[in-house]
Structure 1
Amino acid sequence: MRMGKSRVLVVGGTGYMGRRIVKASLAEGHPTYVLRRPEIGLDMDKLQTLLELKQQGAVLIEGSFSDHRSLVEAVKQVDVVVCTMSGVHFRSHNLLLQLKLVDAIKEAGNIKRFLPSEFGIDPAQMEHALEPGRVTFDEKMSVRKAIEEANIPHTYISANCFAGYFVGNLSQMGTLLPPKHTLHIYGHGNAKAVFMDEDDIATYTVKSLDDPRTHNKTVYLRPPENILSQTDLVHMWENLSGNTLEKITISDQDFLALIQGADFVGQVGLGHFYHIFYEGCLTNFEIGEDGEEASRLYPQVQYKRMDEYLKRYL
């Protein structure tokens, strides 16, 4: 029997979360592999990222989603597969690729844990989601269905709000930087969300890979000090910056009207904002027997609090 750390293959290793998970996997001592797809073509940024990850200790494995056999062979070299492919712009394409990966894992037959590309809102909690944004949750559930029908051991990661997209801008749409004078407050501003430093997401994800407690479960990243409302976040920034902002409230009816007036991509994004900041979809349910909370499982992880995270914007 093979002993030691699991061999981990990251699919989508050049992406926003992928490169962080590669680094976290290496830091945790896992032999770490990254799928190198010939489809990168002349994308110099992706190539440079791959080479940098190789210099840090990752092993590049060639494989293509247009070549099923190459995917199977890549999967056979590892114990765990983590998919981090982004589906922001072409979600149906992401669904197709993940289903191809599931087929390869099923045929290889050796994988002891698969983590599909989720990392956000738990799709199992979003059956009521607004159209057309619901499609993103339905497609993730389609991947889960394929995984479970194939009896592939798995862990789902619900990481909630990425700090880079939700914290520095105080959850304002259309910018990644803190507002200087005015900001919008969604409803009463009191719905509790969960904000996570992306490096911490990677750390918790890698911690879960070999953990029998996370086998066939959803791991929710809900560290208690990062469960905050939008108002909490704004007050943090005002205390740090010494700048009091003018606050403009957007009622739920006005926000729903914004959704109706947006294009398809805008409707998807605004719909997710609505569920987070008006309904509190990240925290309005209890974690059941099929889930675990990451900071309870791994209390040794010193996760970044959002007041500390905000200091980079001063």
Structure 2
Amino acid sequence: MEPGDRNKSRILIIGGTGHLGKFIVAASARAGHPTSALVRATAPPPPATGGGGSSSRARLLQSFRDAGVTILQGDIGDHDLLVKAVRAADVVISVVGYHDVGEQMKIIAAIKEAGNIKRFIPSDFGNDADHAHIVEPAKATFDVEAQIRRTVEAEGIPYTFVSFNFFAGYYLPTLVQPGASGLPADKVVILGDGNTKGKKKTE
């Protein structure tokens, strides 16, 4: 970075081609931070793109490059590569999907070995794992998220946990029915007594 860029941080984003990650990558680059995105060579295309498969992913990656983002191809299972990527950053933002939340232990190990990270933001963007009252099948994911939090704290890594609850646009099309890919045809299961209070915010 140039001397005049003291307010800018080198940002490494892991999971940057996903539903949320692509927006974080774009925002980081737009804010002028030197931004790198670690993406798998065989990463799935972002969901709800309306088709296009690999071609839509290729366009997304090209848009990153056009914005000045450095694309790093690899996998968080490659420890040496991950440590190298982390050492070239000041801030690590993980936006891995919920199926890979537990894999963030590998990111934590790389951050600990690198020893230079000023801030780690784990993929923990939904409900607050420490305060949400959740039943299965979602509870298992929240338990893993809580475990990630405790590990980050125990390792003494500077962190920020970001929780902003549900994206209605993500869950509304299925009425929050586990495993559903569209509106349920016959019934809707409401967990608990159906009287849970909630808040909403429009954007």
Q: Tell me, in whole angstroms, the C-alpha distance in 1 between the residues paired with 2:190 and 2:43.
A: 39
Q: Tell me, in whole angstroms, the C-alpha distance in 1 between the residues paired with 2:112 and 2:121.
A: 14
CA contact (8 A) 2:30 2:67 kept: no
Q: Which amino acid aligns with 2:163?
A: S
Q: 2:196 aligns with which of 263, 269, 279?
A: 279
CA contact (8 A) 1:62 1:70 kept: no
CA contact (8 A) 1:160 1:282 kept: no
Q: Tell me, in whole angstroms, the C-alpha distance in 1 between the residues paired with 2:174 and 2:136.
A: 25
What TM-score do you get using the length of structure 2 for normalisation? 0.78
The aligned counterpart of 1:119 is 125
Task: Report percent identity of matched pairs.
Answer: 36
What TM-score do you get using the length of structure 1 for normalisation? 0.52
**1:164 partnered with 2:169:** yes
Q: 1:63 aligns with which of 74, 86, 91?
A: 74
SS of the aligned residue for 2:162 comes to strand
CA contact (8 A) 2:95 2:123 kept: yes
Q: In the TM superposition, what is the alpha-carbon distance from 1:97 to its structure 2 partner? A: 1.8
The aligned counterpart of 2:64 is 53
Q: 1:20 aligns with which of 13, 18, 23?
A: 23
> Cα RMSD (Å) of the superposition?
3.2
CA contact (8 A) 1:11 1:35 kept: yes
Q: In the TM superposition, what is the alpha-carbon distance from 1:147 to its structure 2 partner? A: 0.8
**Which consecutive unaligned segments of at least 5 residues does structure 1 have?**
178-183, 185-249, 257-273, 284-304, 310-314
Q: Where in structure 2 are the equivalents of 1:81-160 lying within 5 Å?
A: 81-87=92-98, 91=99, 94-126=100-132, 128-160=133-165
The aligned counterpart of 1:6 is 9
Q: In the TM superposition, what is the alpha-carbon distance from 1:176 to its structure 2 partner? A: 6.9
CA contact (8 A) 2:77 2:106 kept: no
Q: In the TM superposition, what is the alpha-carbon distance from 1:50 to its structure 2 partner? A: 1.7
Taking a change above 3 Å as real, the CA distance of residues 137 and 278 of structure 1, as seen in their structure-2 partners, is farther
Q: Tell me, in whole angstroms, the C-alpha distance in 1 between the residues paired with 2:137 and 2:18.
A: 25
**Which consecutive unaligned segments of at least 5 residues does structure 2 have?**
46-52
More strand by share: 1
Q: Tell me, in whole angstroms, the C-alpha distance in 1 between the residues paired with 2:42 and 2:156.
A: 30
Q: Which amino acid aligns with 2:123?
A: S
Q: Residues 53-87 of structure 1: CA distance to partner in whole angstroms, max 9, x if unpaired?
A: 11122111233223200000001111001111112
Taking a change above 3 Å as real, the CA distance of residues 142 and 3 of structure 1, as seen in their structure-2 partners, is same
Q: In the TM superposition, what is the alpha-carbon distance from 1:163 to its structure 2 partner? A: 3.7
Larger Rg: 1
The aligned counterpart of 2:38 is 35
